[in-house]
């Protein structure tokens, strides 16, 4: 598989390393607007050079948010499989436009990068939830925050025209995607969005949101923040017979601490004689990037459906993002 990468910032570099380490493909060329950025691959002179290169099979879109929908559309229209970073757009309508083009090319794969689904801890939680080992989900709570400083103002993420939103679209979107991954969908949304500290119009620094699935009653609460003054990832799933508590997330920077999953089985789960118990698992390696890349190329090589990060996943997610901002 011959690959072109558009955008060689942090994510472009991660994707390139992962493609090479997994042996999934060969990087044919890279386009990066910043000429000061160096890399050991052939440098394309423009996005168009990659998009129209007949020798390139798949394009990785690793650009600022505002460029993503159009590059996905152009990639598909030029006969390329497309892997895109999140968010899939500024809103649900952006995703609908891309999906409209995608339908014209049923043999091409389109996948969005929501690597949190591929963390080993999340995979274990998903397995327990799906096989009803601890019964049905009752409710979920997610907290995801990071610290920023004045340098944040020098990045494109501080410009609403380029970013499309603040901490929810930048980071909280991952937690919301995990809620959907576990619960399927949500019908109702209630939220408070604020920018009390950084005061950048159109770039929120806090979101408090609650989601409800009307069919089964599952509720989920989300706090996405960049005024926490420390990095934190916490995902809690409470079920009829116990709970799944994930604290920390294994990343290359290590700022979110150890990735530790605690599985608790209730003392009472229909049998008064049962005892409560806990198991703790610590994940030392972040396999999410490799798992995600393997999933994409496996779908291409064997004509399989994208099951994590599909266009339909993106559409459901952005529908909730829109509802959250409107509230």
**Second CATH level (architecture) for the domain 120-249+251-284:** 2-Layer Sandwich (3.30)
The Cα 86–Cα 84 span in angstroms is 7
Instruction: Give me the pLDDT at residue 270, please.
Output: 57
Phi, psi of 278 (to 5 degrees): -135, 140
Strand 58-61 with 81-85, pairing: parallel
pLDDT score at 272 = 56
Q: Which pLDDT score is estimated for 171? A: 96
Q: Are 265 and 277 in contact (CB under 8 A)?
A: yes
pLDDT of residue 275: 74
Cα distance between residue 64 and residue 145, in whole Å: 20
- Domain range summary for the chain, segments of one domain joined by +: 2-113, 120-249+251-284
Q: Residue 2, CB half-sphere, CA atoms under 13 Å: how many?
A: 10
What is this structure's pTM? 0.96
Res 276: pLDDT: 84
Dig out the tokens for 41 from the structure. 């691959």
Per-10-residue mean pLDDT of the chain, 327 residues long, equals 97 97 96 94 98 98 98 98 98 98 97 98 98 97 93 92 97 98 97 95 97 97 96 98 98 94 84 77 97 98 97 98 94
- Return the pLDDT at 80: 98
Cα four-point dihedral sign 119, 123, 120, 109: negative
Q: Round to whole Å and give the CA distance between 322 and 90.
A: 9
Q: Look at residue 246 in the predicted model and tell me its pLDDT.
A: 98
Summarize pLDDT for 236-294 with one digit per residue, the tens.
999 999 999 999 999 988 999 999 999 999 976 555 556 789 999 999 999 999 999 99
pLDDT of residue 150: 84
CATH architecture of structural domain 2-113: 3-Layer(aba) Sandwich (3.40)
* Biggest CA-to-CA distance, the chain: 70
Helix (H) or strand (E) holding 31: strand 26-31
Query: How many helices (H) and strands (E) in the chain?
Result: 10, 13
């Amino acid at each position: 598989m011959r690959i072109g990468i558009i955008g060689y910032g942090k994510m472009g570099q991660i994707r390139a390393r992962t493609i090479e380490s997994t042996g999934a493909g060969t990087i044919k060329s890279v386009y990066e607007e910043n000429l000061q950025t160096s890399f050991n691959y052939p440098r394309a002179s423009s996005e168009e050079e990659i998009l129209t290169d007949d020798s390139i099979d798949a394009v990785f879109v690793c650009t600022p948010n505002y460029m993503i929908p159009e590059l996905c559309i152009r990639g598909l229209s030029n006969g390329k499989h497309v892997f895109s970073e999140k968010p899939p757009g500024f809103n649900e309508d952006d995703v609908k436009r891309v999906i409209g083009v995608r339908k014209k090319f049923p043999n091409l794969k389109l996948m969005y990068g929501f690597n949190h689904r591929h963390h080993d801890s999340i995979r274990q939680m998903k397995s327990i939830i799906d096989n009803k080992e601890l019964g049905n989900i009752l409710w979920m709570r997610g907290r995801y925050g990071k610290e920023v400083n004045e340098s944040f103002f020098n990045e494109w993420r501080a410009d609403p025209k380029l970013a499309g939103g603040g901490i929810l679209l930048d980071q909280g979107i991952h937690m919301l995607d995990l809620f959907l991954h576990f619960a399927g969908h949500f019908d109702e949304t209630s939220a408070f969005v604020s920018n009390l500290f950084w005061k950048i119009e159109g770039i929120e620094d806090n979101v408090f949101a609650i989601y409800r699935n009307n069919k089964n009653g599952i509720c989920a609460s989300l706090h996405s923040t960049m005024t926490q003054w420390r990095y934190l990832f916490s995902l809690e799933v409470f079920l009829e017979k116990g709970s799944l508590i994930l604290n920390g997330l294994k990343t290359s920077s290590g700022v979110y601490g150890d990735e530790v999953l605690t599985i608790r089985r209730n003392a009472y789960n229909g049998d008064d004689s049962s005892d409560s118990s806990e198991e703790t698992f610590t994940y030392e390696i972040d396999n999410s990037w490799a798992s995600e890349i393997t999933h994409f190329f496996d779908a291409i090589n064997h004509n399989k459906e994208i099951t994590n990060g599909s266009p339909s996943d993106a559409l459901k997610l952005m529908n909730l993002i829109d509802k959250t901002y409107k509230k």
